[in-house]
Amino acid sequence: MRLNEGQVLELCRTVTARQLRQWVRRGWIVPSRVESRLLFDDVDIARIRLVCELRDDMNVNDDAVPIILALLDQLYALRRELRTVADALRDQPDEVRQQVRQALSVIVRRQG
């Protein structure tokens, strides 16, 4: 689902048009551009809601918002990578999976 700016503002009533445009300019929200219009997808809407919660409910200032967003982006990227590794491992023979488990156990013991 893709929404235009007006639809986003109706859906997220705590955001003003000025705020939304500012967040887009700052790169906090990165909607698609079709001709001169911005289109927001489900991920953009979730991110807008997150920014609202950070600013309104948690009183996070504007300097901290991009730091939090960058950390969350890194976290989600790492989760995707880990899921990819887990999927690749799942496709390996039992012997390979067991070797990886043993190697991980050794590493965990060293760290712990």
DSSP 35-69: TTEEEB-HHHHHHHHHHHIIIIIS---TTTHHHHH
Report the C-alpha gap between 80 and 109 in whole angstroms.
Answer: 26
Domain ranges of the chain: 1-60, 63-112
In eight-state DSSP terms, residue 112 is -
Q: Where does residue 9 rank: exposed (0-12), middle (13-18), buried (19+ CB within 10 A)?
A: middle
Residue 1 has pLDDT above 90, yes or no: no
Tell me if 8 sits within 8 A of 45, measured CB to CB: yes
- Please name the CATH architecture into which domain 1-60 falls: Orthogonal Bundle (1.10)
Could you report the per-residue pLDDT of 53-111, keeping only the tens digit for each? 999 999 999 999 999 999 999 999 999 999 999 999 999 999 999 999 999 999 999 99
